[in-house]
Structure 1
């Protein structure tokens, strides 16, 4: 069932591992099928190098297991994925990572402001979802409000959640969050802790492809 989506989840999970967004068995990934509203999601406790599409679980939006082929369970943070899908019907994929620079700001409960143009990818800023113990409904509910203003959220003392129309865009946003977090960290360090200049939302929204570039062939 939904083998193509399962294979996409495995590919992105392994890419995230290779790029350092999450290591060992941390992080989780999912895709919502547009036709059935079923969610394919990574299992709990399986190392990415051992992960196959047969290990990917299928659940519905009420956390009922629809299909599991191997001796695994859905990620313990499944509820967070499901609450995000319910809060944002426009999204079809979720990436949850523990990337180091972004997670450092999550530990401090410090939002990441818009300081470079790449932040446009996820909406401009990265708000912080209030603390909830991993796997609990408290954590799941904590992401609902921040996701109304951004496609990227810091989970206090935990990690990062990004959402997208598809799994590739959600992964790209996770990469941009980590890149921006590192730039922000280094800017604070170089500036003696003083905040760098913040790009106004209006300035970001005014970006457009240059008219002077002639695309006629």
Structure 2
């Protein structure tokens, strides 16, 4: 995939996340440039709702900006330390999801209560409500993420990873939808989790490229 196409995919991901209210004036998304130790990430100064490919900057894993100008987000170490620790990850999003963050504040476990929740897997909670803006704290976050695809940050947000931006976006959608349904069901009574066999079956059924792409295409159609 060319760099310009990857830049536009980051733009679309961020604008869709903003429209879905998974991020606001903060939040950032990155992608690894294939075959390199460099990433593309949104400039911290750019509006998330009006982002263009001109607002995507190129940088290395030490935080050095490769492009002529641009300012990476303050929390860029969140991205770079995850890429250092996970060779299987080629895309990262830091979101501020409303519903799933509530569970970290209330200290209530987030559980798979709908079939889309089956693909989230374990979502460990990073127990420090800090900005992930230096290497030390970012390494701790990456260790908490471990080999999972989602890590929730106490009273803060989430870091979501995947092999590509489409996966990352779909996981963000499924994470919030599951959290919303769990919260709402809890207002009626106890929100029961899916059974283990249901989780295993639905995880394989839902996490297919055609289904993930459908989520992306549906949200993309609302942008343009």
Secondary structure (helix, strand or coil) at the match of 1:66 reads: coil
State the partner residue of 1:44.
44
Instruction: Report if aligned partners of 2:31, 2:164 keep a CA contact under 8 Å in 1.
Output: yes
> How far, CA to CA, are the matches of 2:201 and 2:49 in structure 1?
42
Matches within 5 A, 1:12-161: 12-23=13-24, 25-69=25-69, 72-122=70-120, 124-134=121-131, 135-161=133-159
State the partner residue of 2:222.
none
Shift of residue 108, structure 1, vs aligned partner: 3.1
Q: CA 1:86–1:111 in structure 2 vs 1: closer, same or farther (change >3 Å)?
A: farther
Shift of residue 55, structure 1, vs aligned partner: 1.7
Matches within 5 A, 1:181-192: 181-191=179-189
The C-alpha deviation readout for 1:110-133, integer Å capped at 9, x for no partner, is 4412222212333x2322112152
* TM, length-normalised to structure 2: 0.81
The C-alpha deviation readout for 1:68-126, integer Å capped at 9, x for no partner, is 44xx310111000111112211010011111211121233344412222212333x232
Q: CA 1:100–1:141 in structure 2 vs 1: closer, same or farther (change >3 Å)?
A: same
> How far, CA to CA, are the matches of 1:82 and 1:53 in structure 2?
21
Instruction: Report if aligned partners of 2:160, 2:168 keep a CA contact under 8 Å in 1.
Output: yes
Q: CA 1:63–1:177 in structure 2 vs 1: closer, same or farther (change >3 Å)?
A: same
Q: CA 1:109–1:146 in structure 2 vs 1: closer, same or farther (change >3 Å)?
A: farther
Q: State which of 166, 169, 173 in structure 2 corresponds to 1:168.
A: 166
> How far, CA to CA, are the matches of 2:27 and 2:104 in structure 1?
15
> How far, CA to CA, are the matches of 2:198 and 2:48 in structure 1?
40
Question: Where in structure 1 are there 5+ consecutive unaligned residues?
Answer: 210-217
* TM, length-normalised to structure 1: 0.83
> How far, CA to CA, are the matches of 2:199 and 2:18 in structure 1?
31
Q: CA 1:104–1:9 in structure 2 vs 1: closer, same or farther (change >3 Å)?
A: same
> How far, CA to CA, are the matches of 1:170 and 1:147 in structure 2?
14
Q: CA 1:148–1:37 in structure 2 vs 1: closer, same or farther (change >3 Å)?
A: same
Give the root-mean-square deviation of aligned CA atoms. Answer: 2.1
Question: Where in structure 2 are there 5+ consecutive unaligned residues?
Answer: 206-224
* More helix as a share of residues: 2
The C-alpha deviation readout for 1:106-161, integer Å capped at 9, x for no partner, is 33344412222212333x23221121521233541232233224211111111111
State the partner residue of 1:199.
194
Shift of residue 46, structure 1, vs aligned partner: 1.7
Q: CA 1:185–1:113 in structure 2 vs 1: closer, same or farther (change >3 Å)?
A: same
